[in-house]
A and B are shown apart, each in its own frame.
Chain A
Amino acid sequence: MSKSAVPQPSWRQVGKHAVFPQATHDEIARFDFLTRLNLHLSQSVLPGVKLAYESRVKPAFCAEHGRAPTDRHEVRKAMQKDLHYQFWSALRRNTMEQRQQAGRSVVFRQLGALRAIADAINEGAPTLKLDPSISSPRYATAVDIHCMPGCYHTETVERDIAAGANYDAGLFVTTAGALGSYSDGGGQAVVDWLSKNKPGWSPKRILDIGCTIGHNIVPLAQAFPEAEVIAIDTATPMLRYAHARARSLGVNNIEFRQANGEGLPWADGEFDLVTTAMFWHETSTAAMPRIMKEVHRVLSPGGLTLHLEQPQYQGMEPFEAFMRDWDTYNNNEPFWTRMHEADLDSLITKSGFPAGSYFETTMQAKVDRTLFPAAGGTEGGKLEDYGRSPRWTAFGAAKPGVAA
């Protein structure tokens, strides 16, 4: 019998905790089918998109205009007429919708039981602080981001956690396990980077903005057990779920608080480290400078801010930028396209950091050997799937001064 072309972990191996939804035999089979489909799309169908561009779309464009496309928008307009691109896009969009449907069908049939577990952990906990005066900003509600029905914020029942549970259950499917069994590859990459680049540094207070289910802040809280960690989001179903998730994983040094990054409820200089993960592309042009100014303000002298994102488009080949832009138009990520052409260096400088403090590096999720036992090989993490690959550009800046 032939082996599967790419090592594929089963959803059975996903990292569990008290509020993680239970799945039946068939629900697991459905998640595994969708994982396989995602791998097939990136491994077998996606290469055809580049072939279609190189072999027929670009030559036709050149014949018509006497030059190659110069930006991603020209590539997009030309590619939209190509049958293979249409097919790949239709399948990719549909697979995302199927994954959402599969996750929600698992969550909503057991929502009462899941909520009872979350309630038992959350009720009266001083480490979960919800604030009814905070509502989700327009950029988080204009459309349902990455086709997640109800987005992060919708509450269907009282004390709702469904959006968090659905997000957690499906991350593994969309990324084919490449973020690790707890989908925390981003947070682990940050921990790794800090241990190599700031050895011995131990931030006392850490702030994570737009934490969703807290999957990327948990590794930092574990790496710095003495630190006081605060994770904020505007969406209550995320915060309730994230709090119960972290607690049941034995992580007790994170406070989950409902707050908006555009107006942080802390005095100046209170944090040694401020992080985000895949956050900025879900904000807006107006919000970005407001949030970064707040980041600068709450950082202590000598403090560091670090942000995981997809790479910016500057200097990128038009075809690659077009592929990376796919989510803007086809996966309900309307700000993705503007964010990735923003001048991040200038954003940092205009927020109060001195000129020259901007830095940029690349990070990659560490391969989870519980999911991919074989060394080497072609783990999902090595497949190119543009915005879905577990590789990031990290950017940030240090605030001048000496830590107290």
Chain B
Amino acid sequence: MSKQQRPEPDQLDPVQMANQRAKGRRPVFFDDPAVERVLSIAMSIAGELSVARERIDTLERLLEQRGILSAADIEAYQPDAAVQEARNVWGRDYIARVLRIVDQDVQAMAGAPEPSLDEVAAELGTPGSDHGTH
């Protein structure tokens, strides 16, 4: 097989790269896989809420320290086009993060069928089955 030239780092989409699934069939813990998805999404939202809460906390503490802003200033704020674009870029990353598990299920469906971890364990546990190269 001829070696293909790999892309440069700036040609990669960091959002897509971050959401890459791990190879290996994913276990399902609940009787209904939908519950799994919803829990995963809820935990991502919980995480992002925590991140946002911390940022707001940082801002409020700095603003208060410096005597710069009041709550009314925040209410009156209007974003311009550039700010709106920055918010859109952030928002795409945000939604991909929250819906990662749906993305990864699609990646699994698009890829070759995977053996169960039991099957991989059995293969690795059998002497002489190893295809490793030195």
A residues contacting B by CB (< 8 A) are: 25-26, 29-30, 32-34, 36-37, 80, 85-87, 89-91, 93-95, 97-98, 100-102, 104-105, 108-109, 111-112, 115, 134-135, 137-139, 142-144, 147-151, 155-158, 160, 260, 262-263, 284-287, 328-330, 332, 334-335, 337-338
Select A111's contact among B5, B12, B131, beta carbons within 8 Å. B12
Given A26-B51, A86-B29, A104-B17, residue A157 in contact with residue B7 (CB < 8 A): yes
**Is A335 within 8 A of B125, CB to CB?**
yes
CA distance A267 to B62 in the complex (A): 62
Given A33-B47, A150-B20, A287-B130, residue A157 in contact with residue B12 (CB < 8 A): yes
Select A97's contact among B22, B46, B93, B133, beta carbons within 8 Å. B22
CA distance A281 to B90 in the complex (A): 40
**Is A156 within 8 A of B6, CB to CB?**
yes
B29 cross-chain contacts in A, Cβ below 8 A: 80, 85-87, 89-90, 93
B residues contacting A by CB (< 8 A) are: 5-10, 12, 14-15, 17-24, 26-27, 29-30, 36, 39-40, 43-44, 46-48, 50-51, 54-55, 58, 93, 97, 100-101, 104, 114, 117-118, 120-121, 123-134
Other contacts beyond A134-B134, A147-B24: 7, CB < 8 A: A80-B29, A139-B130, A149-B21, A160-B6, A284-B132, A286-B132, A287-B132
CA distance A337 to B104 in the complex (A): 26
Select A284's contact among B7, B10, B125, beta carbons within 8 Å. B125
Closest approach, in angstroms, between the C-beta of A287 and any C-beta of chain B?
6
CA distance A254 to B22 in the complex (A): 31
B126 cross-chain contacts in A, Cβ below 8 A: 285-286
B10 cross-chain contacts in A, Cβ below 8 A: 112
B101 cross-chain contacts in A, Cβ below 8 A: 94, 97
CA distance A87 to B42 in the complex (A): 13
Query: Which of B40, B51, B114, B131: most chain A Cβ within 10 A?
Result: B51
**Is A90 within 8 A of B30, CB to CB?**
yes
CA distance A109 to B133 in the complex (A): 33
**Is B19 within 8 A of A101, CB to CB?**
yes
Closest approach, in angstroms, between the C-beta of B42 and any C-beta of chain A?
10
**Is A90 within 8 A of B100, CB to CB?**
no
**Is B47 within 8 A of A285, CB to CB?**
no
**Is B43 within 8 A of A91, CB to CB?**
yes
A37 cross-chain contacts in B, Cβ below 8 A: 43, 47
Q: Which 6 A-B pairs have the closest CB atoms?
A: A137-B132, A143-B24, A105-B18, A263-B134, A112-B9, A144-B22
B46 cross-chain contacts in A, Cβ below 8 A: 33
A149 cross-chain contacts in B, Cβ below 8 A: 20-23
Closest approach, in angstroms, between the C-beta of A294 and any C-beta of chain B?
10
Closest approach, in angstroms, between the C-beta of A159 and any C-beta of chain B?
9
**Is A148 within 8 A of B22, CB to CB?**
yes
**Is B130 within 8 A of A284, CB to CB?**
yes
**Is B117 within 8 A of A151, CB to CB?**
no
Given A137-B132, A144-B24, A286-B127, residue A155 in contact with residue B6 (CB < 8 A): yes
User: Would you give 14 A-B contacts (Cβ < 8 Å), ordered by A?
Assistant: A26-B54, A33-B47, A85-B29, A86-B29, A97-B100, A150-B20, A156-B17, A284-B124, A284-B130, A286-B124, A286-B126, A328-B117, A334-B24, A334-B117
CA distance A89 to B27 in the complex (A): 10
Select B120's contact among A143, A147, A150, beta carbons within 8 Å. A143
Q: For B100, give the chain A residue with the smallest CB separation.
A: A101
**Is B55 within 8 A of A108, CB to CB?**
no
**Is A115 within 8 A of B9, CB to CB?**
yes
Given A93-B27, A115-B9, A157-B7, residue A143 in contact with residue B22 (CB < 8 A): yes
Q: For B97, give the chain A residue with the smallest CB separation.
A: A101
Closest approach, in angstroms, between the C-beta of A148 and any C-beta of chain B?
6
Given A142-B124, A262-B134, A334-B124, residue A34 in contact with residue B15 (CB < 8 A): no
B43 cross-chain contacts in A, Cβ below 8 A: 37, 91, 94-95, 98
CA distance A29 to B5 in the complex (A): 36
**Is B27 within 8 A of A330, CB to CB?**
yes
CA distance A93 to B23 in the complex (A): 14
CA distance A160 to B48 in the complex (A): 29
CA distance A284 to B123 in the complex (A): 9
**Is B55 within 8 A of A25, CB to CB?**
yes
Given A90-B36, A98-B43, A139-B132, residue A30 in contact with residue B51 (CB < 8 A): yes
